[in-house]
Amino acid sequence: MAVGKDMTIGELLMTDRSVGMVLMQNGMHCVGCPSAAGETLEEAALVHGMDVEKLMADINDFLDKK
């Protein structure tokens, strides 16, 4: 499965809970926040000043190696 920027944080975590570790390693420490679950990866990256393309690449790389 390839992660897209339109996926919500909740969808990502339901797919694989360990993706939360990748998000936190990239500086997104609010993955447990109830409002974060409804944000898309792109929205969350924007709020946190992150490059969504790099974040998606990191998540997809992590999932590919599992």
pLDDT at 2 over 90: no
Q: What's the predicted TM-score (pTM) here? A: 0.86
Instruction: Report the SS3 class of residue 49.
Output: coil
Of 5, 4, 1, whose CA–CA distance to 45 is shortest? 5
Phi/psi of residue 10, each to 5°?
Answer: -60, -45
Give the span between the Cα atoms of 9 and 31, in whole angstroms: 7
Q: How far from 64 is each of 9, 11, 37, 47, 54, CA to CA, in Å? A: 18, 17, 23, 26, 15
Supply the pLDDT for residue 45: 92
Give the span between the Cα atoms of 52 and 44, in whole angstroms: 9
**At 11, is the pLDDT very low, low, confident or very high (cuts 50, 70, 90)?**
very high
Supply the pLDDT for residue 29: 82
pLDDT in tens, 38-63: 999 999 999 889 999 999 999 999 99
32/20: higher pLDDT:
20
